[in-house]
């Protein structure tokens, strides 16, 4: 499996508008794009940082996993996302290595990318997202 880059680091926030404003005023960072990803129950903003992104996530579905995360843990780091060349091959490799997968097959994520998640129990309590760029 070939990891190309850290695609993004995801941070969950209560108020996306306020978080974007804070990042812009403090760091001069502005989102490249913002979108609603309905099937994941979030609105996201992607802020470019060198060769990767900071993804700000605000829940829009009160029953979704991001809303539950926010309620239990508050704002903060949610996951690390690694860009891969072939997500199907990456998932197969992880299965063969005995990794604990959340997603057995890829699904569509923000930006139209194919994504899949690896359980935090598989690597030091860190939720990992694999991203195959569209």
Rg (CA), the chain: 15
Q: Is the pLDDT of residue 1 over 70?
A: no
Active site residue 55: yes
Q: Output the pTM of the full model.
A: 0.91
Pair type for strands 3-12 and 33-37: unpaired
Domain containing residue 41: 3-132
- List CB contacts of 112: < 8 A, sequence separation 6 or more: 134
Which of 8, 58, 78, 113 is labelled catalytic?
Answer: 8
Number of domain units in the chain: 1
Condensed to tens digits (0 to 9), the pLDDT of residues 90-104 reads 999 999 999 999 999
Which of 7, 43, 58, 79 is labelled catalytic?
Answer: 79
Which of 40, 43, 55, 132 is labelled catalytic?
Answer: 55
Place of tokens 């605000």: 58
Active site residue 79: yes
Please report which helix (H) or strand (E) contains residue 105, including its range: none
Q: Is the pLDDT of residue 4 over 90?
A: no
Active site residue 44: yes
Residue 74's Cβ-side half-sphere holds a number of Cα atoms within 13 Å equal to 0
Condensed to tens digits (0 to 9), the pLDDT of residues 43-90 reads 999 999 999 999 999 999 999 999 999 999 999 999 999 999 999 999
Instruction: Report the CATH number that the domain containing residue 95 is assigned in CATH.
Output: 3.10.180.10
């Amino acid at each position: 499996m070939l990891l190309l880059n850290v695609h993004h680091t995801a941070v969950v926030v209560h108020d996306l508008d306020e978080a974007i404003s804070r990042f812009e005023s403090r760091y001069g960072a502005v989102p490249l794009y913002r979108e609603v990803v309905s099937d994941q129950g979030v609105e996201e903003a992607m802020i470019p940082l060198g060769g990767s992104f900071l993804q700000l996530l605000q829940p829009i579905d009160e029953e979704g996993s991001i809303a539950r995360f926010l309620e239990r843990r508050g704002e903060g780091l949610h996951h690390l996302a690694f860009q891969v060349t072939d997500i199907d091959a990456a998932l197969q490799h992880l299965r063969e290595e005995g990794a604990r997968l959340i997603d057995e097959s890829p699904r569509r994520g923000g930006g139209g990318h194919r994504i899949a998640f690896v359980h935090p129990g598989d690597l030091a309590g860190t939720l990992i997202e694999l991203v195959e760029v569209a």
